[in-house]
Amino acid sequence: MPIKYDKLFALLKEKGYNTTRIRRENIIGQGTLTAIKNGTGGLDAKTISKLCALLDCQPGDIMEYVADRPPATDGAAASNE
């Protein structure tokens, strides 16, 4: 998935939020939390807004776009020299 949430987990940890606290305070639902950790899901605008308010940050502080790389094929790596 091209949207990565590594920044979110780092910021949550920095602010003292662990998985138990996130679930207990209903910040992110368990299913959503598991999906974004595994890279199989995303966050909706309402959740992004809630997280940004909680963490006093901007959306770019909690997620980033990382382009998918197409699989390499034999001889496909051409030099640009």
Question: For the segment 20-44, what is each residue's pLDDT rounded down to a tens digit?
Answer: 999 999 999 999 999 999 999 999 9
Q: Say what the pTM is.
A: 0.79
Indicate the CATH number for domain 3-65: 1.10.260
| Cross-strand partners of 3 | 65
- Is the per-residue pLDDT at 7 higher than 70? yes
Find the Cα–Cα–Cα–Cα dihedral 12, 4, 19, 24, rounded to 10°. Answer: 80
Tell me what the pLDDT averaged over the chain comes to: 89
- Is the per-residue pLDDT at 80 higher than 60? no
**Under 8 Å between Cβ of 68 and 11:** no
**Under 8 Å between Cβ of 3 and 64:** yes
